[in-house]
Structures are given as structure tokens and as C-alpha cells.
Structure 1
Amino acid sequence: MASRIAVIGIIVEEPDSVKELNQILHEYGEYIIGRMGIPCRQRGVNIISVAMDAPQDMINAMTGKIGRLAGISAKTVCSKKAENI
């Protein structure tokens, strides 16, 4: 199965959606290499970056689910090269 390295940038503007976001991240936990959260208190948002090593369809599925949450935006950048795992 071909796998890519990806970074998903997530902006959380609606704290009520955080529980659902964490459930999604847990669901894809086997593919997550690491994550970092930064609170931006002045703007009332949280910034999260998630590094993944996963098949493209898993990356797309996770990003899509996150992007459908109320008050949460997500964008993905993937490596150009896919490796077989």
C-alpha cells in the first residue's frame, strides 16, 4: 500500500467541536506521527498541526471529516513521493 507524509493544518474557532475533532484524530491515530497545538488567546482560536504517514485515501478521509465540523477548518499538504509500506 502506498503511503505519503502529510501535514494537516487545523484552525479551531468553535470550542464546542473539539470533542468531535479529538474523536476523529483518535480514529486515525495509527497513522498520526505527531501533533502540536498552539492556543492563540488574543484571537480566540486554536491552531493544530498533525503530521501523518498514511495512504492518500486515509489522509483525504480524515481531512474531509475534520473540515465538516462546525467552526473548524483544515487544509493538507502531502509529500509528492509515495512509499510502499
Structure 2
Amino acid sequence: MDNRVAIIGIIIENKEASTEVNEILHKYSKYIIGRMGIPNIRESINVISVIVDAPQSEISALTGKLGMIKDVSCKAVYSKI
């Protein structure tokens, strides 16, 4: 299966969800090629952008697990190549 490059945008609206988000990201760390986190944009809102190089199925699994966490929103944008 071919790898895809994608940017995953994560918004955390409750600081307590950060631990679970980080645990999931750690499990997928072999696919992560870059990560930037911006804490406290507005009160308790944190934003993380993660660049991955992974099979589409792994990216979908990662975003699905992140999206199931309470107070976390997540979307992926894929490269066209």
C-alpha cells in the first residue's frame, strides 16, 4: 500500500484531553514527520498540527481515534500526489 502525506489538524477544547491525544500520537509516532503545538490560543483551546507520511488506512485510523475523544476535533488534509 502506498503512503500518503497529510496534515492532521487537531483542536483540543479541554486541557484534560491532551493526555489522551498525546498517547494516541505516540502510538503512531513512526508515521509522524513533524508536529507543532500552540497552547492556549483562547483560554483552554489548544491547536496541534501533525504532518504524517503513512498509508491512508493508518491516517484514517489515527484521525478516527482522535476524533472520538471528548472535546477534540480533528481533520486531515491529503496531498494530491
| Distance in 2 separating the partners of 1:14 and 1:6 | 25
Corresponding residue of 1:27? 27
Give TM-score, length-normalised by structure 2: 0.93
Tell me which structure has the larger Cα radius of gyration: 1
Task: Return the letter of the residue paired with 1:77.
Answer: V
Quick one: percent identity of the two aligned structures?
A: 52
Tell me how far 1:44 sits from its aligned partner: 2.3
SS at match of 1:80: coil
| Unaligned 5+ runs, structure 2 | none
Tell me how far 1:6 sits from its aligned partner: 0.3
Task: Return the letter of the residue paired with 1:58.
Answer: E
TM alignment of 1:1-85, pairs within 5 A: 1-81=1-81
| Distance in 2 separating the partners of 1:29 and 1:41 | 25
Q: Answer yes or no: is the 8 Å Cα contact 2:17–2:70 preserved in 1.
A: yes
Give TM-score, length-normalised by structure 1: 0.89
Tell me how far 1:41 sits from its aligned partner: 4.1
| Unaligned 5+ runs, structure 1 | none
Task: Return the letter of the residue paired with 1:65.
Answer: K
Structure 1 residue ranges, 4+ long, deviating more than 2 angstroms after superposition? 40-44
Tell me how far 1:43 sits from its aligned partner: 4.0
RMSD: 1.1
Give the aligned length: 81
